[in-house]
């Protein structure tokens, strides 16, 4: 408990976020925590996440539900008195959690993955497939309730049953594969 920690995650997070180094000048003022619409449900406020990150409590940061409850509303970012790109840092922490194998713990991570899976297969997202696939796998009970919403959506002509694809899927796949390859290299560096 009292040992001095070496913050390793901190460096990685700030290095891989545009303007992430501004986090060095965080005042711990709490404007972000106060502004966050999901703040009440987060295990740690964004400010606390930054404090933990600096102090080297990497594990706690990666386990926290905080970044997954971030809805990217940018309220914190525009209000932060030190102009820290908080929302973008949240994205990076999520990426780190996935890269380091912590993501199982978050429904949100699964949701994002399912979503991305669709985009990678078809180039478009497809909400009927998404909602069912996601909920059947992860929330079998809840999916009954949400199924009602789904049915209702069908009734209002708001769900497609057939997925759409883009024409040049191979081109997109090639681009994404190359980008992933570059990203993997970035991670190693």
Q: Which of residues 15-34 bind ligand SF4 (CB under 6 A)?
A: 26-32
55 binds, among other proteins, ligand SF4, none (CB under 5 to 8 A by kind): none
Contact positions with ligand SF4 (CB under 6 A) in 43-102: 46-47, 50, 70-76, 80-82, 84, 86-87, 90
CA distance 87 to 110: 20
* 22 touches 85 (CB < 8 A): yes
For residue 117, which of 137, 133, 96 has the smallest C-alpha distance? 133
Q: Does 5 bind other proteins (CB under 8 A)?
A: no
Closest of 47, 62, 60 to residue 13, by C-alpha: 62
Question: Of these partners, ligand SF4, other proteins, none, which one is at the site of residue 127 (CB under 5 to 8 Å by kind)?
Answer: other proteins
Q: Does 126 bind other proteins (CB under 8 A)?
A: yes
Rule CB under 8 A: say whether 77 interacts with other proteins: yes
Answer yes or no whether residue 151 interacts with other proteins by CB under 8 A. no
Interaction site with ligand SF4 (CB under 6 A): 26-32, 35-38, 46-47, 50, 70-76, 80-82, 84, 86-87, 90
């Amino acid at each position: 408990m009292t040992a001095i920690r070496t913050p390793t995650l901190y460096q990685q997070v700030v290095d891989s976020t545009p303007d992430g180094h501004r986090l060095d000048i965080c005042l711990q003022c709490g404007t972000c925590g106060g502004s966050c619409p999901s703040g009440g449900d987060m295990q740690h406020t964004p400010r606390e996440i930054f404090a933990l990150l600096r102090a080297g409590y990497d594990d706690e940061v990666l386990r926290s539900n905080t970044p997954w409850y971030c809805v990217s509303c940018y309220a914190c970012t525009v209000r932060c008195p030190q102009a820290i790109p908080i929302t973008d840092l949240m994205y990076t922490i999520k990426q780190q959690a996935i890269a380091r194998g912590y993501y199982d713990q978050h429904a949100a991570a699964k949701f994002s993955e399912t979503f991305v899976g669709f985009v990678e297969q078809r180039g478009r997202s497809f909400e009927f497939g998404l909602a069912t696939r996601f909920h059947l796998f992860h929330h079998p009970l809840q999916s009954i309730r949400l199924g009602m919403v789904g049915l209702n959506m069908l009734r209002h002509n708001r769900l497609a049953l057939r997925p759409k694809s883009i024409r040049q899927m191979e081109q997109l796949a090639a681009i994404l594969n190359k980008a992933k390859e570059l990203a993997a290299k970035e991670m190693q560096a």
